[in-house]
Amino acid sequence: MITIESIILLTIQYKTNELRVQMESLKVQKYMNQYPVTFTENMSIEEASLRFIKTKQIGGPVIDANYKLLGFISEGDVLGKMIQTLYYDENIAFVKDIMRKEVLSVKPYDSIIELGQNMLKEKPKVYPVIDDDENLLGTISRNEVLQACYKYSTKRMSIEKEHASF
């Protein structure tokens, strides 16, 4: 026998599945930071640290003059080198001395959900977003992935709340 409760339950399941499909189709491009902090190989560590301080970002891509991705540097990398330079009276270092050249990156058409799952397994908190020619388009962080998840979580809660009164 079909009851009002079973119709409501089916409606909630349908809308929830519809949201799941929408979420699976979310792409990195929609949530990426299109204006990330960037660095060059010949930039001093002091200048890199000032960029981190001013932008409050935790990592950024190292690029050449044509926006080709060369590496990645984190504020932790810079902090470590700054302490080493100050404490041990070492010479000024450059980004190229401490940047990681093996960089995990994503494409703008990659799935937000898959990226989020990878972020749980891999260390980077920030990924460069590159095109098929490895040119930098932006970055995406855990916070931006979390924002995408939160947006759809609130939609789901709204659907459940809408039908909870029945």
pLDDT digits 0-9 by tens, 96-136: 999 999 999 999 999 998 999 999 987 789 999 999 999 99
Confidence band (pLDDT; 50, 70, 90) for 78? very high
**Per-residue buried b or exposed e for 124-144, using 16+ beta carbons within 10 Å of the residue's own CB:** bebbbbbeeeeebbbbbbbeb
Q: Which single residue is written with the structure tokens 């908190």?
A: 125
pTM given for the model: 0.79
The predicted-structure confidence for 137-157, as pLDDT tens digits, reads as follows 999 999 999 998 888 777 666
Instruction: Show the domains of the chain with their CATH numbers.
Output: 25-164 (3.10.580.10)
Tokens of 53: 């301080």
